[in-house]
Amino acid sequence: MRFLLPRPLAACLFALALPVAAEEAASTQQQTPASSDGNGVLGFSVRSEEWTLIGNARGLSLHKPIMIFPATYSPDYSGEETEFIFQFSAKHQLLGTSLYFGYTQKSFWQLYNGEDSRPFRATNYNPELFYRWQPEWARLPELGLDFGLEHESNGRPLPTSRSWNRLYAGVFMPRGKSLYYIKGWWRIPERDRRGPDDAGGDDNPDIQDFLGYGELHYARQIGKQQQLALMLRGNPATGKGAVSLSWSRPNASGNFFYAVRLWHGYGESLIDYDRSITRLSIGVMLSR
């Protein structure tokens, strides 16, 4: 096993030295950290020390975190242990309503694996359609609800095709310096495969054994605009799931965030949904 951190760490430092590119990609953000949003961007106000709606999101807007991790390390899969991981995500408000189309793409690039021509080991494609509702309840005025349909696949042919479709409901609520988001889902059933070449059958009938039926997100603002973010998900019946812990802080101009993330468990990529992966990642986020 080769330990290749020095080379990707150099790449990470190089990436962090390019604030101009990061500023262009993040030019639509406020200097307050962005997270989930309602009709506007839900960010953390340093002045009031609480989560608050910023502006009004019309058209294309932020969705899930946008991240660039040039330096990652995991010993738990074949090929180079170090990968370049990046994710971009956005949503579009449809017809001026609270209905949104969202799209997220996450790639695992074996940039440092020159022996195998630096391939993309995996890419996850995740379109979704959801309705965001913020009821005006006196006791919980900040509460928001999401109801959606999402598809996730890796875009590969058999036998490495992976995909599933879900109906989901989510509840998000900011409270002071904390943000809570709980999401539960129901997988839309697919028929069993009739043979190894049956592309219309279920690619991964046991995926919920490893990814479960829901996940919890918790973000907490600490110090000067630093953020700790925790994700937990799993299946109590099988005892399998995943945990992710991230730390991030804005750069001097506030246009991107230095970030470190630790992942352990199943489902980091669809191709490895049934394998437990432990990974440390270092890089930047353009939104969080």
pLDDT at 87: 97
Annotated catalytic residues are: 151, 153
String of DSSP letters for 238-284:
TTEEEEEEEEEEE-TTSSSEEEEEEEEES-SSGGGTTS-EEEEEEEE
Return d(Cα 64, Cα 89) in angstroms, integer: 5
| Structure-token pair, residue 219 | 């973000």
pTM above 0.85, yes or no: no
Neighbour tally for 200: CB within 10 Å: 8
Question: Over its length of 288 residues, how does the chain's per-residue pLDDT go in tens digits?
Answer: 333 333 443 444 334 343 333 433 343 343 333 344 444 555 655 555 666 554 445 678 999 999 999 999 988 765 567 899 999 999 999 998 999 999 999 999 998 888 888 999 999 999 999 999 988 875 777 889 999 999 999 999 888 999 999 999 999 998 889 999 999 999 999 998 887 777 788 999 999 999 999 999 999 999 878 999 999 999 999 999 999 999 999 998 888 999 999 999 999 999 999 999 999 999 999 998
Beta partners for residue 54, in sequence order: 41
The one-letter code for the residue type at 82 is T
What are the C-alpha distances in Å from 78 to residues 85, 86, 196, 205?
A: 16, 19, 24, 24
Q: Is 189 within 8 Å of 165 (Cβ atoms)? A: no
| Structure-token pair, residue 147 | 């109801």
Residue that is written with structure tokens 């839309």 in the block? 188
Q: Is 66 within 8 Å of 287 (Cβ atoms)? A: yes
Q: What are phi and psi of 160, to 5 degrees?
A: -100, 15
Return d(Cα 168, Cα 134) in angstroms, integer: 16
Q: In what order do the strands lie in the sheet with 34-37?
A: 34-37, 41-45, 50-54
Query: From 3.40.640.10, 1.20.1630.10, 2.40.230.10, 3.40.309.10, which CATH number describes the 6-287 domain?
Result: 2.40.230.10
pLDDT at 113: 85
